[in-house]
Structure 1
Amino acid sequence: MQFSQIVGLEETKTHLRMLADEGRMPHALMLSGSEGVGALGLAVALAQYMACSNRHDGDSCGVCPSCRRMAKLQHPDLNFCMPVVKVTPTKDEDPEAYLRDRWIEALQTNPYLTPSRWYTELGATGKQGLISAEMAEAIIEKLWYKPVELPMKFMVVWQPERMHPVAANRLLKVVEEPPEQTVFLFVSHHPELVLPTILSRVQQVIVPPVLEDDMVKALQHEGADSAKAQEIARVARGNYAQALELLREGDNQEMLALLMDLLRSGYSNNYEGIFTWVSLVLALGREREKELLAYLARMVREIYMLNLNLPELCYLIGPAREFAAKVAPYVNGRNIGWLLDAYQEAYQHVAGNGNENIIFTDLGLRHCQLLGKGVV
């Protein structure tokens, strides 16, 4: 994977190249960025850049033996650690090999891989992944081997915030004083959730959202016309993974339908509708439930902008904007704060493996209280 394959982020790329070119690369670097901005792909591109024997024009050459093997994610000196769930491979397949093959396929297909997409690849949409203590031991064991082909070896750790506390504590010493010729590349979407003792031992680089102009150019390269690319880039707000979904599928119809059902049932005090909505949400699985809660929070903010008569600040398109215009009078200054707090609280409970039925039933009933009585 090359830097050129990651959309935008030129200042971040320049900073990373400088660290590598000037020999100032820390032994433990953390790229912190929201889902969809390309932090994971950037980490792999950095490893390939450092491994390349013929760098030029600010990027790896892409053709030397190291680059070719890095591009396939099969270089012996490139190691990965990511949250996993319990999987059931075929009878004759080694579980570790099964996970490795799924990972390589998922990341090669989509450099903007998100947690929910990864768990879908594993066939476990209803679960949250974890980096276990056993996986931490495996990391430590791998790092004590000398590099096979390169002057250094890389350990890319995706989502250290999903690391079990026992695993994090076991890694503390090796992160602080790793074996020679070792580079840790952590990639976090929620650095505030990373164990503080791990966070204090890494040099953090913030990966910002993708600039709108860069996203427009990339979307046009994907086949969108100028007007469509600008509209999607405005709505995606720096999340290129979301921009690609909007380009290929339109607005998320499943999430939009759930939003519409929730607001309509809440506003009309339709308790039967609320219970039906809860049953639909429970079928999503925990990671998709978290995505739904983030989606609800984003949508009510956009709806509130229309309530304030600020349409230029409403980043919605198509059916989502049409529905937002209809419900805007009912998402107002009296309930917007309560709604956002409710989504945040529900998100924390879902992430903490709380009882989903109770969480979403409570959330639905709160909408009956907060939105009042009427018909939407």
Structure 2
Amino acid sequence: MQFKEIIGQEKIKQQLMQTVKENRISHAQLFLSPLGSGALPLSIAYAQYINCLDKGENDSCGVCSSCRKYEKYIHPDLHFSYPFFSSGKEDVAQNYIEEWRSLLLHDFYFDIDIWRSKLDAANKQANINIAECHDIIKKLSYKAFEADTKVLIMWLPEYLDKQGNALLKLIEEPPANTLFIFIAQSQDQILSTILSRTQIIKIPKLSGEEISNYLLQKAGLSEHQAIDYSFLADGNLIEAKALASDKQTDSSGKFTEWLRNGFSNKVPALIDFTDEAAKWGRENQKNFLKYGVNYLRECCLIISGAEELVKLPPLTLETAKNLSHKVLTLPMAEAIIAQLEKAHYHIERNANPKILFLDVSLQLVKIIRFKTLPSGTQYIYN
């Protein structure tokens, strides 16, 4: 992967190349970036540039033996680690390398949900386990096969639990010519022991102009559409691509239907929804609840008269406006958000999904239909 393939981030590209030219590459780096800003492809292009046999002033050559292997993600000295849905204690990321390469070759802008869709996740939750940590130590203890620098790119170290401490000695005192690059979205969720041992490189979200230019060139949109979608995406190229494809997530339709059934007190429909939601698997259930929280926060902006700040896709914006103007109030929306966040917490801790979603559905009826907040006090809105 070459730098020229990556959307925007020109300042970061120059900064990374300068570290190579001046021979001041930090051995452990954390690329901290918002979702959809291109941190993962930047890390791969950086590694390719470091090991390119005929690097140019502004990019790797793309044709030497090292670059050709990097382009297919098969270089023997390029290693990846990432969250996966373990089927056993000895499962490691390498077991899913073909799916990982396939996804990168298809589109190197993706998130954990897209990655999950490529795997047989069932009810499992994503993580980077202790077996994977031991496998990393083993792989990096070997001498480099071809390149001057061995590279390990870990995508989403947020999924490392305390077992990540097994990597501390390796990160602090790595073998010669070894480079760690961590790709993260949330600094607060990374083990502090790992965080303290890395050089943080903050990668900004993409500008509206960069995203709109991409949509104009690659998605065949009109200038007006490209500008609208770049605004809604708010620097997230993954979201911009979804909008350009007129994709409306299943969560959107299911969530608004759930709200309507709660308002109409359609108990049989709510029970049917509970049966359906119980079969989704825990990651999909968590995603649905997260979507609901975000959706209602946008509704709060509408209720507060700040529609210009709302970033819902056009397909769902009108529905949100109708709900916000005719049904919801701020206290009601806040009460529902609290219920969804509590449900998300319990799903993460393996609560029975059928019982949980039925309880949340009944709370939804109380809040919307009967205007009763969880405290039991009656709230009558205008």
- On whether the aligned pair clears a TM of 0.5, the verdict is yes
* Equivalent residue for 1:122, pick from 119, 122, 136: 119
Extract unaligned runs of 5+ from structure 2.
372-382
Are the counterparts in 2 of residues 87 and 95 from structure 1 also a CA contact under 8 Å? no
Are the counterparts in 2 of residues 37 and 210 from structure 1 also a CA contact under 8 Å? yes
Distance 1:14 1:369, change over 3 A: farther
Corresponding position: 1:314 with 2:318: no
**Structure 1 runs, 4 residues or longer, greater than 6 Å off:** 94-97
Whichever residue aligns with residue 287 of structure 1, its letter is E
**How big is the shift at 1:264?**
0.9
TM-score by length of 2: 0.88
**How big is the shift at 1:118?**
1.7
Counterpart-to-counterpart distance in 1, 2:278 and 2:24:
48
Distance 1:218 1:157, change over 3 A: same
Distance 1:287 1:16, change over 3 A: farther
Counterpart-to-counterpart distance in 2, 1:326 and 1:280:
26
What is the aligned partner in structure 2 of residue 75 from structure 1?
75
Higher relative contact order (CA 8 A, sep 6+): 1
**How big is the shift at 1:158?**
1.5
Are the counterparts in 2 of residues 231 and 317 from structure 1 also a CA contact under 8 Å? no
What is the aligned partner in structure 2 of residue 40 from structure 1?
40
What is the aligned partner in structure 2 of residue 362 from structure 1?
359
* Equivalent residue for 1:104, pick from 101, 106, 109: 101
Distance 1:157 1:325, change over 3 A: same
Counterpart-to-counterpart distance in 1, 2:207 and 2:358:
38
**How big is the shift at 1:97?**
6.5
Whichever residue aligns with residue 56 of structure 1, its letter is G
Which deviations, in whole Å up to 9, do the C-alpha atoms of 1:357-376 show, x marking residues without a partner?
344333333322332349xx
Whichever residue aligns with residue 85 of structure 1, its letter is F
Corresponding position: 1:344 with 2:341: yes
What is the aligned partner in structure 2 of residue 194 from structure 1?
190
**How big is the shift at 1:300?**
1.4
Which deviations, in whole Å up to 9, do the C-alpha atoms of 1:274-321 show, x marking residues without a partner?
332233333332222232222222211222222233332222343311
Counterpart-to-counterpart distance in 2, 1:234 and 1:125:
35
Are the counterparts in 2 of residues 300 and 331 from structure 1 also a CA contact under 8 Å? no
Which deviations, in whole Å up to 9, do the C-alpha atoms of 1:118-153 show, x marking residues without a partner?
222122253222222111111111111111222110
Are the counterparts in 1 of residues 83 and 93 from structure 2 also a CA contact under 8 Å? no
Which deviations, in whole Å up to 9, do the C-alpha atoms of 1:316-373 show, x marking residues without a partner?
3433112112101233322333333333333333334443334433333332233234
Whichever residue aligns with residue 154 of structure 2, its letter is V
Corresponding position: 1:250 with 2:247: yes
Distance 1:303 1:175, change over 3 A: same
What is the aligned partner in structure 1 of residue 132 from structure 2?
135
The 10-residue stretch of structure 1 (350-359 or 134-143) with the greater mean CA deviation from structure 2 = 350-359
Distance 1:24 1:325, change over 3 A: same
Counterpart-to-counterpart distance in 2, 1:148 and 1:11:
32
**How big is the shift at 1:61?**
2.2
Report SS of the residue matched to 1:205: strand
What is the aligned partner in structure 1 of residue 210 from structure 2?
214
User: Between the two proteins, what is the percent identity of the paired residues?
Assistant: 31
Counterpart-to-counterpart distance in 1, 2:350 and 2:317:
33
What is the aligned partner in structure 2 of residue 91 from structure 1?
none
Report SS of the residue matched to 2:31: strand
Report SS of the residue matched to 1:259: helix
What is the aligned partner in structure 2 of residue 28 from structure 1?
28
Extract unaligned runs of 5+ from structure 1.
89-93
Counterpart-to-counterpart distance in 2, 1:117 and 1:125:
14
TM-score by length of 1: 0.89
Whichever residue aligns with residue 228 of structure 1, its letter is Q
Distance 1:355 1:112, change over 3 A: farther
Whichever residue aligns with residue 327 of structure 1, its letter is L
**How big is the shift at 1:87?**
5.5
**How big is the shift at 1:196?**
1.5
What is the aligned partner in structure 2 of residue 8 from structure 1?
8
Counterpart-to-counterpart distance in 1, 2:92 and 2:204:
36
Corresponding position: 1:261 with 2:257: yes
Are the counterparts in 1 of residues 92 and 135 from structure 2 also a CA contact under 8 Å? no
Distance 1:59 1:349, change over 3 A: farther
**How big is the shift at 1:77?**
0.8
